[in-house]
Structure 1
């Protein structure tokens, strides 16, 4: 009886480990993964922003915005300014994660 319980417990542990390793989260955002690409998000994240003005301008340019101007850091740590994309003038923002917002 003890042997049967031991075998069943071992099988259960092996099966649960396999399930945990194959689980995926489609579309999950993992902020621990560093990339140099600027993501476009709906709302900027509040937090201490360590980007300099020239780095923020470079990030926005790399994201496809031209004529970036009037960049200032707001009270939430978000770089905000004006830029042109696809021939239209838009308000842009860059948060501490490097994510871009436009409206």
Structure 2
């Protein structure tokens, strides 16, 4: 069984990765894939949506005769990430209260 990640959580994962360092698309996708199952074809629409919503910005850097598009979190993105983290904490605590450690016999 594969548990699907919501778009809001996927957005949060992308923003969290970009919080400390800018990444170009391919490397960013690989970083996300280390944590959750997501295809490369899923990632680029996510990145476009985050940019459209003002949560990311992009810039190009030359690399071996080509340009790499780097993604950078904006201040709005940082604010949104803080909200996602708060909501994730509440969600996680609720799920853990139901599915967490096996209940001891009382």
Q: TM-score, normalised by structure 1?
A: 0.23
More helix by share: 2
More strand by share: 1
Q: TM-score, normalised by structure 2?
A: 0.23
Q: Which has the higher contact order (CA 8 A, sep 6+)?
A: 2
